Amino acid sequence: MPKNLVIVESPAKAKTINKFLGKDFRVESCYGHIKDLPKKNLGIDIENGFKPAYRIIPGKRKVVKKLKDLSRQIEKVYLATDIDREGEAISWHLSQELAHPDKARIVFNQVTREAIREAIKRPGQVDLNKVNAQQGRRILDRLVGYKLSPLLWEKVKRGLSAGRVQSVAVRLICDRENEIEKFRPEEYWIVKARFGLSLKKACLEAKLSLIDSQKVKISSEAQVKEIAEKIKEQSYQIIRVRREEKKKSPQPPFTTSTLQQAAAYNLRFSAARTMKLAQDLYEGQEIGSEGRVGLITYMRTDSVRVAKEAQKEAREYIKKKLGEEFLPSKIPYYRNRKSSQDAHEAIRPTRIKRDPERVKKYLSNPHYKLYQLIWRKFIASQMERAVIDTVKVDIQGGVYLFKAESRKIRFPGYLLIYKEKAEKDESLPVVKENEKLKLEELSSKQQFTKALPRYTEASLIKALEEKGIGRPSTYAPIIFTIKKRGYVKSTRGWFVPTPLARVVNDLLVNSFSTLLDPHFTAQMEEGLDAVEQGERPWADLVGDFYHHFKKDLEAAEQKMKDIKKEGWKASSLKCEKCGGKMVLKFGRYGEFLACSNYPRCKNTRKVTQKTGVRCPSPGCEGEIIERSSKKGSIFYGCSRFPQCRFVLKTEPVVENCPHCGNSYLVKVKNGLKCPECGKRIEEFLVEELKLGRVPFKIMKRRSTTGS
């Protein structure tokens, strides 16, 4: 029988660690948390300092019994769970359940032979401050969930739930949707000119920037034409040429949030999928003759700090494989955010020599893509800056100033390995100051101001981090939860709040303005950080919160609008039976319209997602609505089904085809298409729709004015 028992969370991690330790060690998994608050009651003694009543999770009783039996047969227990707050809490609960005289806590940032053996040499104890921070968060979330959810059951519909942090994330999405709806695009025009060089065949393209030293602001086609006539009357020359050298520095290696953002942007991975793949890479993969090894460091972190050994290994690789010119003279230093816990390193490969191409054949395609992203980002963060040459040219003609600019990468530096966005050269012909130019062509382009786009997973995570809402381990669960609860739907990658989300959000904002305040939520995160640092008792933090929350809760029980009885926001529709207004209500199967004169009138009507497109079938007065098949697939059909069986597989858009005049277009991959003539719509309008910024039907067609 082995002398030592090592306990980790997952079987995969146990399998990897087991190969690093000898026959004197046995590695077992506890399969995550073994204890939690009870499901059927609050489990918190509010009157006794918010004391939690933890219970062994029913499904974990066999696991706990097995670990207890094993611990009685060995000399020492090592608690080797993850190094974040959740991992510390798991070790704490294990230490309570295993009545063994010799228990130690070991921590490591990467699942490698060296890291594990070093951790065994330096055992410690469970960090109770970190445990208390996790405990404080768990109790805060339980208080909000258990107190708010029954209120929503009573006022809106049974089965709803609310979360302390998730509700703030939903508010951000709802607030953005309100901004988009209120936004009114403003027309503006861009004027460009093409100038011929006096002694060369080359041309110089430039944009109108200033008129009489004032920034250009053209708001109508009539104004464009008036300015264009005056521009043509002028003589032009280059009044200034500025040549500059710009150095572009690499970004730091990944944190949890920046990894999730980059994986969403580059790989189209959801936050949850990114974290699952990253966990697999951290816990270990079979790599040929090396066996099972952890490929990346711990994936839940908000720090950009890097171990000196890893920086040294990266520098050796860069010098040997890429060339000394790509190696910076000084080791790069990256500063953490003020709110960063800096508990452990940034996310990086455990060994630089395991480059993506070397391990590709051992990994699944998703694992390979994510590992390649992490590896390249880290190597790039340790490389020399890129050098970019820019040329800026000012062209004057009377009161009109045109500007042209070019950029060319002289030395790629870190861009050789990792590009944050498409980098391309834009060149200008060789010019000099005081050179005379001839205006050859003048063009104009109509555009509109744009509302902020809806949130995507990546941009929501970025917003949560910037506002201090949540921590690395919570971003993916937040997004998973608001999706699961039906508060948002993802339309082409953009988060759109459901009617249920908007109703619940309005009710909570009106009754719990502090709880739903992003700034307050960020302060609570800072409070939990203070608990982890041993600067504040967790019960004090919870007590201060609950004092205000209880008052709001008591007031809401009396004053919150009863949606079950009154409905929400009278629509423009009237009841066809009694003439009363139809209001929005929520039932077991979703939202529906009901007569406001209930119970005198019990008329109800389904809520359908209308597209605004009239049914094109001859003689039909129906409208195209969103429908779903028995298998849940979305399609679009006539509202008068089964009388009219017109259907579309793709979503229609209210806009006449600019080519044939057909009354609607359909969305296709990378754009819009007319189902009648088969031609695509103009790029400008497609981009606006794709970004989810402004209602498509209020946009005007692109116009140009020739010289």
Catalytic residue (one of 298, 368, 371, 400): 298
Rg of the chain taking only CA atoms, in angstroms: 31
CA quadruple 607, 612, 615, 619: dihedral sign:
positive
First to last CA, the chain: 90
Distance CA 697, CA 664 (A): 10
Report yes or no: 231 and 399 within 8 Å, Cβ to Cβ.
no
Is there a catalytic annotation at residue 298?
yes
Q: How far apart are CA 95 and CA 113, in angstroms?
A: 25
CA distances 607 to 571, 577, 613, 620, 642, Å, are: 11, 17, 16, 21, 18
Q: Which tokens belong to 602? A: 């019990």
> Residue 571: CB partners within 8 Å, gap ≥ 6?
581, 582, 583, 584, 593
The b-or-e profile of 34-60 (16+ CB within 10 A means b, else e) is: bbbbeeeebbbeeeeebebebebbeeb
Beta strand residue intervals within 510-578, DSSP E: none
- Asked if 286 and 361 touch (Cβ cutoff 8 Å), the reply is no
Q: At 54, is the secondary structure helix, strand, or coil?
A: coil
| Contact (Cβ atoms closer than 8 angstroms) between residue 380 and residue 354 | no
Backbone φ and ψ of 92, nearest 5°: -60, -45
CB 37 within 8 A of CB 142: yes
Closest CA to 422 of 443, 407, 442: 407
Phi, psi of 81 (to 5 degrees): -75, 170
Tokens encoding 202: 């080359």
Give me the phi and psi of 169, to 5 degrees please: -65, -40
**Separation of alpha carbons 311 and 433, rounded Å:** 47
Distance of alpha carbon 642 from alpha carbon 691, whole angstroms: 35
Kindly give the residue spans of alpha helices, DSSP state H, lying in 29-100. Answer: 61-71, 85-97
Backbone angles phi, psi at 645, to 5 degrees: -110, 25
Q: Rounded to 10 degrees, what is the CA torsion of 654, 656, 659, 665?
A: 20
Active site residues: 298
